[in-house]
């Protein structure tokens, strides 16, 4: 470059390297930015965040102008270094080779690695600032970018590839949301994290997964003597009691027993009065998702329902309290819960009721019992052995060694679990 002094050429080279650093920094900052945080800032009126989101919504054009500019300035820098080398050392091959190595080193250090590390560390902040500079470039170079993208899109079409849009890329799956909650650390209290994680499970669980089994439903026989009914109501743990007639499968209504206690003890209640105060039973298909059932409870102003199978046979009972407990955990005031809080003792053992739910055991003891079959420990053991085991029998189910401690009425009553090896 005759007539241009060397200091001016070196200054131009520095400007080209700075421009290359700008494009590299912009590319990394935009692609590494948190779109959800940018959307939150944009909703609060942050202009830079809005521009950044608009650019991310047209990623192909944004990357087109960034890469176009970056390649142009890098090529110009390489050409300028060759010119400077020739002016200083002539057309010696060794000089040109050294010049090529030096400009490659300079681009890597000053225009690629360092800017990208800085951009990755401060992506959200830089994206909001750099968006102001990229927008004018995108508008000015739009015809060139559009022309280049014609060939890019044609190549993608030949390869049968369809790039996802910006909005589609920013959508999170349920599993990704769960991972975000788990990694939230000190930002969300442990109790709140547990509730959020339980929320993700609501659509996966059916009422059959959380119901009280039929054999454990507290109910009264309307055909029983009135004194027996009064005594049963007086000692009931529940405010609502199912009412059957002769056969436990023949549920004819539900009693809100607290409303009856005063009349019952005053001797003013009889079978006719009980029938009069009964409400119609509310039946729920066993496969109903518990989130859907929560909505049904609200719409129908119910707090308890009887779970039925595909043949209309009663399988169990589910209450509004059962669903709420899936969100916030067990209520300590409940007297009739099986198992309560469980933990391994110093010997790596724990004594468990056979009626304990497998989901509760997995949660409390960090186990991995299968959940696609029986819902209780008793059911899992009986299914595994295909028989009612005797006391003292040892078995390994779901990778957990266990010993039968007590059986009663053709059921496994108590089981001693041993911590699985390696935990």
pLDDT of residue 27: 92
- pTM for the model stands at 0.59
| 39-43, 49-53, 263-267: least confidently modelled range | 263-267
% pLDDT > 70, the chain: 90
pLDDT of residue 375: 83
Per-residue pLDDT reduced to its tens digit, 352-364: 988 888 888 888 8
pLDDT of residue 155: 85
Mean pLDDT of 252-262: 74
Domains of the chain: 6-170 (no CATH), 172-201 (no CATH), 207-328 (3.10.580.10), 349-418 (3.30.465.10)
Q: Return the closest-CA partner of residue 9 out of 80, 75, 73, 76.
A: 80
Burial class, 111, CB count within 10 angstroms (exposed 0-12 / middle 13-18 / buried 19+): buried
How confident is residue 144, by pLDDT bands cut at 50, 70 and 90?
confident
Q: How many CB atoms lie within 10 A of CB 269?
A: 20
User: Which residues does 27 contact at the CB level (< 8 Å), separation at least 6?
Assistant: 63, 66, 67, 70, 116, 119
């Amino acid at each position: 470059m005759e007539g241009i002094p060397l200091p001016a050429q070196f200054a131009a080279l520095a400007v080209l390297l700075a421009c290359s650093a700008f494009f590299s920094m912009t590319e990394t900052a935009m692609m590494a930015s948190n779109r959800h945080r940018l959307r939150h800032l944009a909703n609060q009126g942050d202009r830079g965040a809005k521009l950044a989101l608009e650019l991310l919504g047209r990623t192909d054009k944004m990357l087109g102008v960034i890469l176009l500019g970056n390649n142009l300035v890098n090529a110009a820098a390489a050409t300028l270094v060759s010119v400077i080398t020739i002016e200083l050392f002539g057309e010696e091959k060794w000089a040109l080779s050294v010049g090529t190595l030096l400009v490659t080193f300079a681009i890597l250090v000053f225009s690629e690695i360092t800017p990208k590390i800085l951009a990755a560390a401060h992506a959200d902040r830089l994206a909001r600032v750099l968006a102001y500079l990229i927008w004018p470039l995108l508008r000015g170079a739009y015809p060139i970018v559009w022309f280049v993208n014609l060939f890019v899109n044609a190549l993608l079409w030949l390869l049968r590839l369809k790039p996802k849009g910006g909005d589609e890329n920013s959508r999170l799956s349920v599993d990704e949301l769960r991972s975000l909650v788990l990694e939230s650390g000190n930002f969300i209290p442990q109790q709140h994290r547990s509730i959020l994680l339980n929320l993700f499970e609501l659509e996966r669980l059916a009422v059959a997964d959380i119901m009280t089994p039929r054999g454990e439903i507290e109910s009264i026989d309307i055909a029983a003597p009135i004194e027996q009914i009064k005594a049963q109501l007086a000692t009931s743990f529940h405010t609502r009691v199912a009412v059957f007639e002769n056969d436990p499968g023949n549920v004819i209504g539900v009693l809100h027993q607290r409303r009856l206690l005063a009349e019952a003890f005053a001797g003013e209640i009889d079978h006719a009065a009980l029938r009069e105060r009964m409400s119609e039973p509310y039946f729920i298909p066993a496969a109903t998702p518990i989130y859907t059932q929560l909505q049904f409870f609200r719409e129908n102003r119910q707090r308890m329902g009887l779970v039925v199978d595909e043949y209309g046979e009663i399988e169990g009972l589910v209450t509004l309290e059962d669903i709420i407990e899936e969100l916030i955990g067990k209520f300590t005031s409940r007297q009739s819960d099986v198992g309560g809080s469980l933990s391994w003792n110093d010997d790596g053992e724990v004594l468990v009721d056979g009626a304990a739910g497998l989901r509760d055991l997995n949660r409390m003891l960090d186990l991995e019992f299968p959940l696609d079959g029986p819902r209780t420990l008793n059911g899992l053991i009986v299914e595994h052995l295909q028989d009612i085991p005797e006391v003292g029998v040892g078995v390994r189910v779901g990778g957990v060694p266990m010993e039968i401690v007590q059986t009663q009425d053709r059921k496994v009553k108590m089981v001693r679990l041993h911590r699985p090896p390696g935990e």
